[in-house]
Structure 1
Amino acid sequence: MKRFILVLFALLGLLQYRLWFGDNSLTEYFSLKEKIQVRQQTNAELQQRNDVLKEEIQDLKSGTEALEERARNELGLIETGETFFRVVGGDNRTPQRQDNP
């Protein structure tokens, strides 16, 4: 009977070792689970970017409004009869407060 209990404890120890430190252990499982979450988040961000690019491509293929908007923003397009106004920003820094002693 003592041998049987000793064998059971040895088997339990072996299984515990494999569970915590062996191949496909719990630490490896949690590490892979975290990597999967990071990849899924990255994939979601890339999918959003791809959706925006697909919409932009569709706009560029379908009409001239997107082309005109791009020309205005990137190339400074001004049509005849329009007046161009350039807005120059002021100093955006907040004044530093001086404490009087």
Structure 2
Amino acid sequence: MANIKSAIKRVEVAERNRLRNKSYKSAVKTLMKNYLTAVNTYAANPSPELMQEVQSRMASAYSKIDKAVKRGVLHRNNGARKKSRLARALKRSSPAKSTTAS
């Protein structure tokens, strides 16, 4: 452990920030996983109720990603990439069902 006062404070601040960052990253991963599960369920059995569920989960995942970027937990390109992957997952599942229904 450091002996200098400023070094002790930096250790404390770094640990506090690490825990906060870990919390945001974990929440982002969980929300993305929930969203992708909902997309897969919707792809297997498309219905308006499931689409609403997908949209609400997408909104919550986007919101958490944007907050993490705003607070400096994620780089903005990383956040943009995550959001792009979420949108792409929905786009891949939707047209496959809509083209067969036509």
TM-score range, shorter chain: 0.3 to 0.5
The higher-RCO structure (CA 8 Å, 6+ apart) is 2
- Bigger CA radius of gyration: 1
